[in-house]
Structures are given as C-alpha cells and as structure tokens.
Amino acid sequence: MDPAALASAESDAMAGLRERTEVGHLAAGRVPPSQIGDSHQAGATRVIDDSIRNVYVAPVTEDEKLLQFPGPSATDFTRTDTWRVLRIMGEFIEGFDTLAWVQKAVTVFGSARIGPDDPQYKKAEQVAGLLAKAGFAVITGAGPGIMEAANKGARLAGGRSIGCNIELPFEQGTNPYVDTVIHFRYFMVRKTMFIKYSTAFIIFPGGFGTLDETFDALTLIQTGKIYQFPVILFGRHYWAGLIRWLQARVLGEGKISPGDLQLMLLTDDPEEAARVVISAYAAQSQAVTERARARKSSPRERLND
C-alpha cells in the first residue's frame, strides 16, 4: 500500500460513493443533485462555505479541513481550529434546537444505491410506516435508497420524517419525503443526533457508513452509555457472514463476550422489527422512571432537599 496506490484507492472509493448515491436517485426517477450544476450544500446554505478554508487550496469539506494533516499556520482567526470548535458547537446547538421536540424516534440506516423496486426498499418503507403509526418519528441520513424508503413510509403513514444530511465533496441531495432536515458539516455532530434522539437503530444492508453507525451504537451499549437500545440488523442473508465472523473469530479469540452478540437482532420481518422497538421503548421509559425514583430516595438527594 504505497502512497500512489493508496491515493488511487482513495480516488476510486470517492468515485464509488458518488456513483452509489447517484444510482439511488436515478432508480427513484430523479436527476441526481450532483449532476445539477453547482448545487453543493454545506450547513443550511447551498454554497461552499469559505469562512474557515485555506484560500490557496481547492474547496474541501469541513470534516476534511478539520482532520487533514496540519499545514502552515493560519493568520486569520476564522481559519483556525479554535474557530472550528465554535462552528462545531454552533452545529450541536442547531441540531439540539431543531430536534428538541422529538420524544420517541427510530433511526433507519442502509444503502443509498437501491431503488423502489428493491425488496429491501419496500420492507424499509413498511417498517417505517408501522413505527409511524405507533407514534415514532423516523430519522435517516436524508439521502436516496433505504433512507428515502424509510422517510417515505413515515410520511405516508402520517408520521414525522426527519433527515440529517451531511456535507460531502459532491451534493448528495435530500429525498423528497423528509419533513424536517438538518444539514451537518461534521460527521461527529450528525452521529450524536442519531443516537441522542433515537430509541433504536434499524440497520438495513449498506456499506461502510452503515457499519460505522452499527458498531458505534454497539460500543455505546457495551460500555453502558446507552441502555435498552435495540440494534436490529434487517436482512438475515446479508448480515449472516458478518455474524459468523464475529462468532468464529472475534468471540472465538475472546475479543468480545458471548453477551455482546445478544445485543443485535437479525430479522426479515418488518412487524417483528417494529414490535421489538415498541417493547424496548416501554422498557426504556420504565427504566428512566425507576432511576428517577431511586435518585429521589437516595440519602444525598434527601439531604439536598
């Protein structure tokens, strides 16, 4: 993996990501936003934000600017990491403010590549509709494919449909079934919103981004940061190889414990997925009530009163 080969692989990966995103829009009968002139979207605007960019290089995403190898020291404060911290804080505030009304929601992840004729698209639409009828908002990454199907299912069932879009080097676009959309520059802020406002994750077949969110949630559960949080892997055949590897290699070598594998549910049934989410929400609500009652009855709380 010499530098030239790595650079070529990175270029191919970016081209593949763009192609997968465009396929999802094309399959739904739309012209991909990345093919519509200069429609790059960052934050809440449809222009490239140059306020904290290096004017001597080509435009990049804010995540790339934050994470790239340090270059020459900036003389303008608005181009420093200190200013970026304020930008990140502002993005958190915008997200919290926009989604403060969300009491119960489920995030659905999956590939942007598939179209309305794909069986998984139809199942994502179905499970989202079942959850919307049960009073859950549905959150996605706002793109095409599985994300569009989940937003569509929620919308058609009369529920709230939320999209958390992310700035990419090309415009990925927001699917037409989103009621509330927030545009994020930073992946870490967007990932926080997915976790904070969801009571469960439903993971349909997808790529690196889908796997990232899956293992992020599993790590938070494993370390006790969140609890009673179902991670539902939808599509038994698609996920079977991953589960076999986790069992044979990761568990076999003691890198995880047997209980860790019980943190995931595999299913092909939209009704089962919805039923698990609804039951988990009831358990979450009960646990919150019991914890609040325990805190009030503790000696320290009584002393403070």
**Cα separation of 130 and 14, whole Å?**
35
Q: Is the dihedral of CA 138, 110, 144, 100 positive or negative?
A: positive
**Cα separation of 15 and 190, whole Å?**
23
Q: Has residue 145 been placed in a domain?
A: yes
Tokens of 12: 């191919």
Q: Has residue 176 been placed in a domain?
A: yes
Closest C-alpha to 202, from 192, 191, 213:
213
Whether 39 shows a pLDDT value over 70: the answer reads no
Least confident of 71-75, 148-152, 188-192: 71-75
| Percent with pLDDT over 90 in the chain | 58
Whether 44 shows a pLDDT value over 50: the answer reads no
Q: Has residue 182 been placed in a domain?
A: yes
Least confident of 12-26, 158-172, 192-206: 12-26
Q: Has residue 234 been placed in a domain?
A: yes
CATH classification of the domain holding 215:
3.40.50.450
Mean pLDDT of 139-163: 96
Range of the domain at 171: 105-292
Q: Has residue 281 been placed in a domain?
A: yes
Mean pLDDT of 261-270: 95
Residue 102: what are its φ and ψ, rounded to 5°? -75, 120
**Cα separation of 25 and 206, whole Å?**
16
Element (H, E) at 7: helix 3-27
The full 3-state SS of 54-118, as one line of letters, equals: CCCCCCCCHHHHHHCCCCCCCCCHHHCHHHHHHHHHHHHHHHHHHHCCCCCEEEEECCCCCCCCC
> Each residue of 194-251: pLDDT tens digit?
999 999 999 999 999 999 999 999 999 999 898 889 999 999 999 999 999 999 999 9
User: What global pTM score does this model have?
Assistant: 0.80
Q: Has residue 32 been placed in a domain?
A: no
Q: Has residue 80 been placed in a domain?
A: no
Whether 273 shows a pLDDT value over 80: the answer reads yes
Q: Has residue 24 been placed in a domain?
A: no
**Cα separation of 213 and 182, whole Å?**
18
Mode of pairing for the β-strands spanning 180-184 and 264-267: unpaired
Task: Provide the domain count of the chain.
Answer: 1
